Structure 1
Amino acid sequence: MKETINKLKWIYKKSKPGIVTLTVATIIGSILSAISVYNAMISKSLIDSAINKNLDSVIKWLVIMGSIMLSSILLSTLRSFLSTYSSNKILNELQKEYFSHLAYSEWMELSKFHSAGLMTRITSDTSTINNFICGTIPSIITSIIMLGISFFTLLKIEPNLAIFTIVILPIIGLINKLCSRRLKKFYKDIQDKNIEYTSFVQESLQNLMIVKTFCNEKKTINNLDRIQNQKLKLSLKQSLFTSLTGMLFSIGSSAAYFVVFCWGALSLVKGAITFGTMTALLQLFNKIEYPLSSLMGCYSPIISSLAATERLMEIESLALEKGTNNMNVLISNKPVIKLDNVSFGYKEDVNILKNISCTINPGETIAIVGPSGQGKTTLIRLLLSLIHPENGDIYLKNNNFKELLSKDHRNLISYIPQGNTLFSGTITENLLYGNKDATYEDILKACELSCSLDFINKLDEGFDTKIGEKGLGLSEGQAQRIAIARAFLRTKPILILDEATSALDEKTEVSVLESIKNLEHKPTCIIITHRPKALSICDRILRLDNGYLIEEDRNDIPKLEISLA
């Protein structure tokens, strides 16, 4: 119970961005509920006046009824507008909050989840919470108000009948209690299966070339069909379960309505009530039965929202990156990079990097070489503060200043990752990703240095050419050159290249490497490479071997070039 209360408090906190308009919309809904009950009494008076042939009274009640109908229409329109605003406002803030939390979370924390799973939480689970806040809660409030007004009105007219109808409440409570655990399990199982489905589709589309070249189209479609059938079975089980519980309620509700109708008909025959009173009794019973049914229907969204809350709380529990966002002189000065006995491993007691120590001076160009799997990319992740040393320290120093490396220092780094890392959009949008203030002249110069200007100018729309996801529409080499130009535009004191020329031909690679060597702002360059040509522009060569960092003699470059080749 305490856990449920804490979750409801959490949900209330998330509703604050739209709480004012949502409250107004709920008040309007409550007024409309009260009006609908009052309409039953108006109908009673109108019918009795008509039977008694009292024209003045009939006209009075018709005017009142018409006025109430018009008011209800206007209030319903306003309520709809306010509800739409509240729903969109709360959903946008929820999705923004969790997207922001993921953006600022530790990189290693995110690796615990599949990207499709994170996407489901940001989209589906936030929508579940939003629907509960903006739909279920107002529905519960208005239903309770309608139920209360209808009950006391019916109690005033016919006490015995009112007491009979209210007996239904414990039955609903018992049904809900029996359903709660099963409904929660259904929600979690369906969400997990949706994640599996989304993950499968996402990965299959991203690797469609592999699917085709391995002739696995039929196998992939069969796997999709298998997952879809599992989703269908889960949905059918949930539907059958909720339908059966709903059927039990409908049977009880219909039986109760039949009893009320029989009682009214017999009382009318005996002359104990008027025809208008019988009409009012039937309407009032419906005004009690409807909110009871609505409350019954609210139970499934409540359970789903509590399950969604658990899943979103898991995102909130992800550790955020540590940093001060307080950059001092290191922003405007080129720092020395110092690694002091740094060790790191992705698994406990299995270190990939072992007691690494080195100093990289401002303006130096350093090559990091070594066989695959020796920790070169891991070292880059440490320098980017995506991961953190288990032992030892990495810090930057300049004159009398010295700072431990943190996420704040990414503002000193321009990074060219391996592989295709372009976004869908125009070439210009991709180039400006690292420096939105770059001028057209800056763009031209960066593209010339990266050997991408010629092929861009040959495109029909030039820099306005739209490219697809992962650079679709460009060759690997073209996409890599645009990524290099993007990094050149971000003129930072440290430039890191992770296999940044792997997709370039030899002639283009030499030109790009010469450009890197001769950049005007003379950044400190750290180059991970398997390409022999890259060694020629490097001041020092560091080799990773079995987790240890060894500095190579430049006189051994020909031998290294042979080993890399």
Structure 2
Amino acid sequence: MKIIDKFRKYLNHNEIKKILHSWSWIFSYILRYKGQVIAFSCIGLISTAMGLFTSWIMKDLIDSVTGQISMAIAPVVAVYLGTAVAKIFINALTNRVSLKVRLNVGIQIKNDVYDRLMNTEWTAISAYHSADIMTRTGADVGIVSNMVLSYIPNVVTALVNFIGAFFIILHYDPIMALIALAGAPVTVLTARFRFGKATEFQKKNRELASERLAIEEESYQNLQTIKSFGLVDLFSQRFRNFQQKGFNVAMDQNRYQNQMMIVMGLMGQLVSYSCYGFALYRLWKGDITYGTLSMFMSMASSLTSSFSSVVSLAPTFIKAGISAGRVLEILELPAEKAELTEKEKDFIDNCRQKSLTLVCDNISCSYNNETFVYKNSHMKAESGKITALIGASGKGKTSTLRLLLGLMKPKDGSITVSDEDGDSINLGPATRSLFSYVPQNNTVFSGTIADNLRLVKQDATDEEV
């Protein structure tokens, strides 16, 4: 019961809960592509089985050559070579299939993320630097898409390889099987420590990637301003400070990795030499053949490597979970209400030739529940009249336009548009088509000026442009 309680407590740890929640999102894509995942797992299983079979065949081949057993050599050689060639073609097929599925999964996830972000409330998404968003939707999504296809097949093949090698050794010599597993307790005992460090370094690396992109993006986009105000040295020093920060994190991670490599390497060497020594001892006593010795060493190596592969799945699980969590953080931001109600559709369709009145009634405006830009304000604008918003910088002119366009919501009060018949609707994201908007800053997208003008009417003729 104590072990179960500890396990439950471990699962309830905040970081673990976040990673498990992130993986529930990854699994939604795994289920979507379950056919490809199953097929890829089957290919991996066939390749693993052929590898184990090759080691077994090699035993018989060596024993045949050394005269330990009476068996025709040619058929054994043919089976061995056929298996080796088949593995080459299976690996090529695996690479081809995995690339195709991985690209499709990556495209699908990026499409889903892009669509979701484009329909997220502006105030929520604007709290993130554009470079941070690009890192999350680029590198982090890439890590997730790789996991969708590869993680379960890797788990299956590693476990099958481990179990297969273990039982083959166990069949011939139980003591040898126990020696080959001698390093397992050390690996298990250090798992929690390695989990914590892997989580820590993965978070730092993803945050540094976002920070680096932000620094470079701001520098290159504002190069004219930086040069004009003589800020080149300042920004160069900032970039060097960041580079040093990244260097320190990389060296800390490398020190930890080297420490683990030494511990696990020494343990691996101890297990390998123990297996080799015990196998030689059995050969010296005449208990096993040279073929069995070769198979023991091959299986012991396969057992050790497959166990390491199983253990390495935990850091991979953490890495993918953290990247998925970073993507989910922005996906779970509140979405805009972009769908028009029937009332709003009828109003917009029928108001084209009517006089309209815009009324801001007792509205208050603030960003992210912080200091108010203004409180309890009123405004009225009517068709056929020019209404100007005049005020000093920071008094709310741009903020009011954002309210009218539904980019923000008033903290209090209401904004409505009514027609001459007395019908009215509240303004929001879905009612932006009621407005023509000329941005204050220069906003030009990729392409020609004509391409930019056609963004709002893609079938516009040259005369209309």
Q: What residue in structure 2 maps to residue 451 of structure 1? A: none
For the 8 Å contact 2:179–2:275, the answer to whether it is kept is: no
Q: What residue in structure 2 maps to residue 484 of structure 1? A: none
- Number of aligned residue pairs: give it: 443
Deviations 1:202-223 (A, max 9, x none): 1111111122122232332222
| Aligned counterpart for 2:232 among listed residues 217, 228, 232 | 217
Asked which structure has the greater CA Rg, the reply is 1
Alignment pair present for 1:178 and 2:193: yes
Q: What residue in structure 2 maps to residue 328 of structure 1? A: 345
| Aligned counterpart for 2:331 among listed residues 316, 323, 346 | 316
Question: What letter matches 1:120 in structure 2?
Answer: T
Question: What letter matches 2:122 in structure 1?
Answer: W
The percent of aligned pairs where both chains have the same amino acid is: 24
For the 8 Å contact 1:175–1:245, the answer to whether it is kept is: no
| Aligned counterpart for 1:395 among listed residues 407, 412, 416 | 416
Q: What residue in structure 1 maps to residue 173 of structure 2? A: 158
SS of 1:371 mapped into structure 2 = coil
Within 5 Å, which residues of 2 pair with 1:231-380? Answer: 231-326=246-341, 327-332=344-349, 333-334=351-352, 335-346=356-367, 348=369, 350-380=371-401
Within 5 Å, which residues of 2 pair with 1:479-498? Answer: none
After superposition, the CA RMSD in angstroms is 2.2
Shift in Å, 1:109: 0.8
| Aligned counterpart for 2:441 among listed residues 410, 419, 444 | 419
SS of 2:389 mapped into structure 1 = strand
Alignment pair present for 1:36 and 2:51: yes
Unaligned runs of 5+ in 2: 1-10
SS of 2:387 mapped into structure 1 = strand
Deviates more, 1:45-54 or 1:387-396: 45-54
Q: What residue in structure 1 maps to residue 243 of structure 2? A: 228
Q: Hey, which of these two has a bigger chunk of strand by percent? A: 1
Shift in Å, 1:36: 0.4
For the 8 Å contact 1:17–1:93, the answer to whether it is kept is: no
SS of 1:324 mapped into structure 2 = coil
- The two structures have a TM-score, normalised by structure 2, of 0.89
Q: Cα gap change, 1:213/1:357 in structure 2, threshold over 3 Å: closer, same or farther?
A: closer
- The two structures have a TM-score, normalised by structure 1, of 0.74
| Aligned counterpart for 2:451 among listed residues 424, 429, 440 | 429
For the 8 Å contact 1:18–1:89, the answer to whether it is kept is: no
Q: 1: CA distance between counterparts of 2:202 and 2:368? A: 33
Q: What residue in structure 1 maps to residue 4 of structure 2? A: none
Q: What residue in structure 1 maps to residue 406 of structure 2? A: 385
SS of 1:416 mapped into structure 2 = coil
Q: Cα gap change, 1:441/1:55 in structure 2, threshold over 3 Å: closer, same or farther?
A: farther
Q: 2: CA distance between counterparts of 1:34 and 1:254? A: 26
For the 8 Å contact 2:44–2:157, the answer to whether it is kept is: yes
Shift in Å, 1:313: 2.6
Q: Cα gap change, 1:358/1:158 in structure 2, threshold over 3 Å: closer, same or farther?
A: same
| Aligned counterpart for 1:141 among listed residues 132, 156, 162 | 156
| Aligned counterpart for 2:143 among listed residues 128, 134, 155 | 128
Q: 2: CA distance between counterparts of 1:74 and 1:172? A: 34
Question: What letter matches 2:416 in structure 1?
Answer: Y
Question: What letter matches 1:330 in structure 2?
Answer: F
Q: 1: CA distance between counterparts of 2:240 and 2:86? A: 52
Question: What letter matches 2:279 in structure 1?
Answer: G
Q: Taking CA–CA contacts closer than 8 Å with sequence separation of 6 or more, which of the two structures ends up with the larger relative contact order? A: 2
